Each structure stands twice: as structure tokens, then as C-alpha cells.
Structure 1
């Protein structure tokens, strides 16, 4: 589409990146189930490999179905470009890959999904990278954590599991003062509720498995580049600002400008790491995005109703939903997330760990699964599952204490969901 700036979100979520198939006229984006693409001639092949011409070489790198999805997500986020990959965890490694090196670190929020904390605290050590975990409400601590070896700052817009809301403009200012980009995981908010680039983020990552797809069918991830960070302002990012030995000495930033990060992620990242999204998964996610705004409106409406009900229940110690006036993040939501605080939050059950286990075993409409962002309402006890590998202190910091359960509120009838929670609480606290 030629001028997306004039089009509304609801239009873009259906049309961005797509047009009728030139070969058949098919209106829905086809699933291009192919591994390779025929070159017109030797010069055409050379031009593609030199990044002098945009096109398709091999589906580990690019695929027409996946390309439509990447453009659509980039458009909805207000980015210059995007690269899709096999999962949200893959997207996080892809985001860090062009920036990091042995001995370098990322400053990360303590309020992250448990799997991300493990990936950052344990797995990335195998690359020689490290992470410093900081409470992002402590501005001075974030500033102090950035040192000469820091290459990125990482947080979630609406954090999983507790629904904590990050002050992105403040954190982006700190990152930029330190000469490094801000990477924001926008999975829980989606670009419908929050566009981190407009609040100063440089890179946005998604687990497309969640709200973007919305139907629990496929896994996927995406990295969106704002195209605004100056990779050549210092010598911190040689893969982008200097000749890249992994790609015949091409200097990506000088050659490709705002698209440097995106093309590096495809030409080097996907080529060598192989974290490729398959076209079938891209197709399901494209279908899901077509109804994103409608679903998110209902997700938020239901979450607000259920959080209000839980807060008034004597069997509940507290509710973490940032859309509640009692939340310490309520004013931040009104200022930065005016369409709502999302549909992911936790609540503490009186009776602690055992009561939480009984609760998740007693729900009937809610599904007890390790996922979020589905049209169906989902529940999990994070301390015994997704955050089990963390220390008690890390669990508390991440909002996954033993006495809380996480709810991902779906788009069913809110009264039915309340009835299900009510009967499960009765069994859990009897």
C-alpha cells in the first residue's frame, strides 16, 4: 500500500503489506509453500545476494507469505521494517544478535516472563553475553546499570505475568542517554494498545503466538525496527556500522540506512541462526491480525469487569490489574495506554500455594495452559510452571509469587467467566 499514514488501524490490520496475487488474482495472501525461487539469470541472482535488489532467494531467508506478515506488523507498529521468525524467544535472540558480542551485556527489567529471565540469565551466557536485571521503576538504578559494555535496554510494555506497565518514554530517554537502543516486548499490549516506537523504543519484539494470532494455532515471533537509531554514532555496533565479515564486508548502515537492522537480521541472522517462520504459521497469524482491534477491545472490556469483581471478593488478597484505580500504575495507563491496560494480570488467593493449585484444577471454562493472548480465557499458576525455575526472590520480583495465579482474559461472556472463577474459588478456599 502506497500511503499507509492516512489509513486507520482497522484498515491497516486487514490490508497492510498485501495485494491481490499477481499470478492468480487471489484476494487472500496465498501460502507460498516453497523452499526456493528461480532466478531470472545470473545477474539477477547476484543482485539479490548483494542486496542490490529486493526479492526471494531461499525460504530460510525470505518467503512471500512471511513477507506480507512482516510488513503488516511493521506498519501497525510504525516501524521501518520487520523480520519474522519461529517464536517469541527466537525474536529476542534475533533482536540482540546484531548488537551483542562476547563480554557485552543487556540491561533488563526484573518484570519479565519467566522464560525470558532464564534465557537472559542463563542461556545467553553461552554466547558470552550477560544481563543485568533492574527494577525499571527505579530510574537511578537503570541509569547506573548501563556501562561501557551495555548494548541494549530490554523491557516489556505490559509485563507478563503481573500486568505491570512500563514508563517507556522515561526508559527510552535513559537508554538513549547511554548510547544504546531500547528493545520493547510488546506481546501483551499489541500495537492496538501501545506503539512503543512512538514512546521512544528503537526495536519492538513480539511473540506472534499470542494476541496477534489470537487463536492458539501456531508459534511465531517478530522483530520490528523503528529505523531511527543511529548505529554509526559510536563504535558499539560494528556489525551494522563497520564492514560485516559475515556478509562479504558490506557495511549495512551506510548501505541500507533505516533498513540496516532488518536486512542484517535476514541476511545474517536468519541465514546463520535459522530461526525461520514457516509460511503456514504466517498465514494463520495474518488471519488473526485481521480482527486484532475487535478482539483487543473485548479482551480489555472483559478484563476490567473481572478485575473489578475479583478486587471486591473476600477470598482474594489483591489484584494486579493496572486498569484498577487502586493500582500504582493506573495513572500511567491513562497517560500512555489510553485504550486499556490489556487483559493479562494476576490475583492472589487466600490460602497460598495450595489454594492456587486447587483453583487451576477446578476451572471449567478457563483452560489451564502455558499460553496467553488466546480468544479463550486461560489460567496458570506461574510459580509451579512458567516461573518454576526461578528463585523465590526472582518469582516475587517478576510478579509470580507462590500465592498468585495468572489470568489471560478471553472474549467469552464476562458473566460466564465470573461464574467459573467463583465456583473455582469456592473449591480452592473451602
Structure 2
């Protein structure tokens, strides 16, 4: 059953899966198998050579994983998806597919700490050069573009300060310079923002966060919008436009014009690099996505109330949640996420690092845990954990200085969350 004509909540439940034709099972089966029996040697050869579709080995493709790829692709409005073992794997695969040693890319310097760490490691070991912007404005991204630039990277909602990025403006810059725009949509999820609608060419996710929702699984996703004119760029993107000698000279942009980037990720990323997603993790993520629209509504509602409480608390110096009146970025948040900029944000204690650590260690209901986007509320001290590799001035710019606490607001009754924060803050007031 095609779900393209259906609205978002219906797609979250139905997209990518249908009753099992063999058994009638309504829930997507979990295909726990490494390999798949071929009908003939000809069929096996055709699948391996990309002459026909089919399943051969679960590292490259699996029916349960394929259902997840179809569902997330449908929710994001893309043409093809590639599921991988983690969000970090998704970032790595996109970068390695787009670039070779010596190439560069433009990125905001305010990103998830793991992404920044990966970027710096790839620069030092493989000469993939980040050209960091000074701020989130389209002009700042355009100012960093050079002849070496091969892509633009940003987050739709910035982890962890909750700033909302001007995706349409940055997409205009990318189009002018004939560069693909890669958007990490983890903190927004497609329930809040669909970056392809604003001009993104590639969307990535850590499915471990809001898509899965329950903190049960690790996974990542890449969605190919199918809109970038890769063929016009020639050997600038060699994995997409040059012949693959070990695949009988196939040129992906000719064979799969609307899904050639996703195809390159599968051939190079999954078959060669190998970060495939477990079918069990795919199944659990599919199940989590079914409630995504409901969860995001509650996440945003709770987060706005908690942020407002913290903003008015005498022990709190500032709160970085742009849905609050008078906050920096309020207009951008209203434009892109009228239902709220997610449920992850930072706040700072007037008592500095000691107060921040005391508050975290005093929380009883809210868990001290490094993940985000779960149904349970979570807190952590990013300066000494997720963003510890940043320099002091970089932490200050990212709003993760030693005085800051990152909150991921869950689905509990908001009155209970406020009561927990209140008793923890009382210890430093």
C-alpha cells in the first residue's frame, strides 16, 4: 500500500511496511538471517552486480532494515534511505562518500560534540577539511566556501543549545554554489522539521534519539532527497559519476539518477565499510516511530513549561530555549517550528560549575545519562562529557560552558519534572 498521499501521523504508522505476504502478519517481521537463498546463479550474479534488486547479505540489505529505510524516507519526503549502525556512522558515511583527501566542507562550529570530534579526527588523519562558520546565518556559510568545498553541513536544531537554523537561506547558498546541503535532523525529527522541503539534499539522523524514542537501540539513517544534480558535477563526486570497475563499469548517476547518492552509500558505505544496522534495532525503531507525532507534541509542550520555570528561577543565569518570549532566535523558531524547537536545551547556573554538578547529582526523577530524545527526562554536564574536547571559548560559544546543564525533557507529568528540578536547585540557591 502506497502511503504517499497520507498525512504524517498515518505515514508514521504505515509507511514502509505492509502485512507479510507469506503469513499475513500485520507487524513487520524481524528477519534474523545473515544470508538469503538465491533462486539461481544468474539471480545471485545480477544482485551483486546491481542489475536487479534483491537481498543477498544482511550487511548490505535486510527486509526489516529496508522497511525502516522506506518509513523514514517517506516521513522526510525523500527518494531513498540507507540505515546504518549509528548516527555517528551516518555522518561518517556521508562525508566519506562525498569527499576524498584534500577536499573541504563548510560546517557550523556549533554541533553535537561527537560530530565535531569526528570532523577533527578526519581532518588530522585523512585531510578532510572543515571550514567552520562564525554563526548560523546564510552569509556566514557562504563566506567560508572555496574551490575545495564539496558540501555544506548543519543541524536543523542545534545540539544542545536548541537554536533553529535558517535552512531555506542556507539551501539558497548551497544551490548558488552547486553544493549539496547535508542536514542533521536528529533533534527536530521529521515531526517538527522536514529539511528537504526547505532545500536540503541529504538528511541524516541518529535514530537512537526521537525516532526510536525509548533509549533501547543505537542506529542511524541517511535520506537522499533525489534532487541534487550530481551528474552535472562530473568527477567532482567520483563515487557517483565515475565508472565502478568492480561493478562492470556502472555509473550510479546514470543507472539510478534519483537515488544515486543513496546507492553510493550502499555500495561503498555498507558493502565496503560495513556499518550495517541490526534487524532487531530496525524493528524496535520502526515500532518507536509509530508514536513519534504524539511523543513530539508532548516533548515540546513539557520542554517549554520546564524552560519557562528555569528562566525565572533565581539560581539560573540563562536558558537557551528559543520558544520563550524575548529569547535570541525566537523569530527563527517561530518560522520553522511553531509547535516548539524540540525538547533539548541548556541552562546555566549562577553558581558556576560546582552548582551545575550539584544540581545534576541531586536530581531524583531526571536521570543523569548521556542520551537525548528518550521518553524519560535526562540531564548531563556537557562541558565534561559530550563536548569535553572543545576549547573553553568554543564551549562558551556553543552554550556548553562549565556552568551549563543539558536537559532532554521527556514525557513525564511536567509538574513532577518541575518538582524534581526545584528540589535540586534548592541545594544551590
Partners of 1:138 and 1:25 lie apart in 2 by: 51
Q: Determine the structure 2 residue equivalent to 1:106.
A: 105
Query: Does the 8 A contact of 1:247 with 1:268 survive in 2?
Result: no
2:195 is aligned with 1:204:
no
Q: Determine the structure 1 residue equivalent to 2:386.
A: 386
Partners of 1:311 and 1:119 lie apart in 2 by: 33
Query: Does the 8 A contact of 1:111 with 1:164 survive in 2?
Result: no
TM (normalized to structure 2)?
0.97
1:56-90: per-residue Cα shift (whole Å, max 9, x none)? 01001000000000000000000000000000000
2:298 is aligned with 1:298:
yes
How many residues in Structure 1 have an aligned counterpart in Structure 2? 428
CA displacement at 1:124 relative to structure 2? 4.6
Q: Determine the structure 2 residue equivalent to 1:91.
A: 90
Q: Determine the structure 1 residue equivalent to 2:333.
A: 333
Query: Does the 8 A contact of 1:113 with 1:398 survive in 2?
Result: no
Query: Does the 8 A contact of 2:192 with 2:339 survive in 1?
Result: yes
2:265 is aligned with 1:265:
yes
Give SS of 2:354's match. helix
Query: Does the 8 A contact of 1:381 with 1:406 survive in 2?
Result: yes
CA displacement at 1:17 relative to structure 2? 0.7
Q: Determine the structure 1 residue equivalent to 2:412.
A: 412
Which has the higher mean CA deviation after the structures are superposed, 22-31 or 222-231? 22-31
CA displacement at 1:295 relative to structure 2? 0.4
Give SS of 1:258's match. coil
TM (normalized to structure 1)?
0.97
1:216-258: per-residue Cα shift (whole Å, max 9, x none)? 1110000001000011122321211221345442110011111
Query: Does the 8 A contact of 2:75 with 2:190 survive in 1?
Result: yes
2:127 is aligned with 1:128:
yes
CA displacement at 1:317 relative to structure 2? 0.8
Q: Determine the structure 1 residue equivalent to 2:251.
A: 251
Partners of 2:62 and 2:138 lie apart in 1 by: 42
Query: Does the 8 A contact of 2:81 with 2:262 survive in 1?
Result: yes
Partners of 1:246 and 1:77 lie apart in 2 by: 32
Q: Determine the structure 1 residue equivalent to 2:237.
A: 237
CA displacement at 1:386 relative to structure 2? 0.7
Which has the higher mean CA deviation after the structures are superposed, 49-58 or 368-377? 49-58
Partners of 2:79 and 2:233 lie apart in 1 by: 21
Q: Can you give the 5+ residue segments of structure 1 that lack an aligned partner in the other structure?
A: none
Matches for 1:141-290 after TM superposition, within 5 Å: 141-235=140-234, 236-245=236-245, 247-290=247-290
Q: Can you give the 5+ residue segments of structure 2 that lack an aligned partner in the other structure?
A: none
Give SS of 1:205's match. strand
Query: Does the 8 A contact of 1:193 with 1:337 survive in 2?
Result: yes
